[in-house]
Amino acid sequence: MMAKTIKRCFFWAHLFTGVSAGAVIFCMALSGVLLTYERQIVEFSEMRYTVPVHRTAQRLDTDSVVAIMQTLHPDQPHIYVRWVNRDGAAIAAWAGPFSYLLHPYTGAILREGEGLISEFFHAVTDFHRYVSFTGDYRVVGKNITAYANLVLVFLLISGLYLWLPKRLSKRAVKHHLLLSKHANLHQRRHQWHLVFGIWALPGLLIIALTATIFHFDWANRALYGAFGEAVPPPPPRPTVQHLTPPAIPYESLYAKAREHASAYHYNNWYSMWLEIGAYKDEARFYIDQSIGHRQELAYSLYFDTQTEAVSKVLRKEDWSPGGQAWGTARFLHTGEYFGFIGQTLAGGLSLLACILVYTGIVLAWRRLIAKPKSNKPG
């Protein structure tokens, strides 16, 4: 009797919390589906700006790219330059919030701004994180998605408990694990909710739990605390008013970074980023073998722009155990930790979450609204 009462309590808690947060969870899951291959799609969209290779033409040097950015935006000292390791690929460059694609030989502007594809994904990301709230209301949107995510964790755990058959038998477990034909639409939806729910549960639980580190201090304290560490404070970022002219040309530092990458078996890098203006007299190169910024396939290389000395090399293994765990959790959330296969799996799980919300809402409607109405006399 006690077990039956407990299960009934879990059922009603599962139903009401699901109905309350279902719309937000559906929005997060649907936007998660749309974001599945964001990096690949953006990269593919930029390939159309690849120009014919000129064997006799000289590639635009790094100092010229920086000079173009400083000419366009002299009040923006924070500059990024990104090279793709492909002949004829356009050079991406940012000066503060302003972005461009430059012709790799002439420096002509091929595209101003990030393009429609990137803007679309920015809008989807804002919807995913903040339900599209902007300005001062963004924190409200962030709280809505944060607590809806916690509700999802509860729904997954309580759903597992409710999934357990009343009597454990081979037939009952098979019925809860495999889809079968049902003439009744209600029974079909109920089985979809059971079967899709149990198969998606491990992956969705990982996605939901890893999302908590983006929202809650206690989640970060728990993650770092598991390794006996405190959450590191954000590094101080002094305001750089203008770029100090480097004693060493940026092109020389770029050549040194390529040599370093080759020496450390990163000669097959996909993209290389240069960041200047974040700290005085510092140039950071981010050398990435993947499209998706996978930590184990990338590292940062820091140069002193006045002496050409390597001031720091930062790989994933150089981080603290807590920092490595945080980075792993961050890319587990999107599936990118396992590359394209992981992204595909995360996208499929997000689609299943949409189905679970739909079937859950329909089943709740039938129980709370439709069925009571049909039982009314007259």
- In the predicted model, what is the mean pLDDT of the chain? 91
Average pLDDT over every residue of 94-98: 94
The pair of three-digit structure tokens given for residue 176, joined into one six-digit string: 């809860």
Q: Please indicate, yes or no, whether residues 146 and 228 belong to a single structural domain of this protein.
A: yes
Candidates 148, 186, 164; CA nearest to 11 is 164
pLDDT in tens, 99-157: 999 999 999 999 999 999 999 999 999 999 999 999 999 999 999 999 999 999 999 99
pLDDT at 64 over 80: yes
Residues 72, 158, single domain; the answer is no
Lowest mean pLDDT among 128-142, 267-281, 287-301: 287-301
Total of domains in the chain: 2
Residue 46 lies in a domain: no
Q: Enter the pTM of the model.
A: 0.89
Instruction: Please tell me the least confidently modeled range out of 97-106, 161-170, 254-263.
Output: 161-170
Same structural domain, 144 and 28: yes
pLDDT tens-digit map of 238-247: 677 778 788 8
Does residue 93 surpass a pLDDT of 60?
yes
Please tell me the predicted confidence (pLDDT) of residue 57. 81
The answer on 126 and 30 residing in a single domain is: yes
Q: Quick one: 23 and 167 in the same domain?
A: yes
C-alpha–C-alpha distance, residues 59 and 126, integer Å: 37
pLDDT of residue 181: 77
Three-class HEC string of 245-281: CCCCCHHHHHHHHHHHHHHCCCCCCCEEEEEECCCCC
Last residue of some domain: 274, 292, 319? 319
Query: What is the SS3 assignment for 302?
Result: strand
225 occurs within a structural domain: yes
Q: Is residue 8 part of a domain?
A: yes
* Alpha carbon separation from 249 to 101, 105, 304, 365 (Å, rounded): 22, 18, 11, 67
Examine residue 226 and state whether it is found in any structural domain, yes or no.
yes
Predicted pLDDT at 41: 95
Same domain, 124 and 228: yes
- Residue 23 has a CB neighbour count (10 Å cut-off) of 13
Confidence class of residue 348 from pLDDT cuts 50, 70 and 90?
very high
**Among candidate residues 279, 198, 289, 291, the one with its CA nearest the CA of residue 246:** 279
Exposure string (b/e) for 47-73, b if CB count within 10 Å is 16 or more? Answer: eebebeeeeeeeebbbebbbebbbeeb
- Domain extent, residue 255, equals 52-104+239-319
Two structure tokens written together for 125: 């990301």
* DSSP-assigned letter for residue 60: P
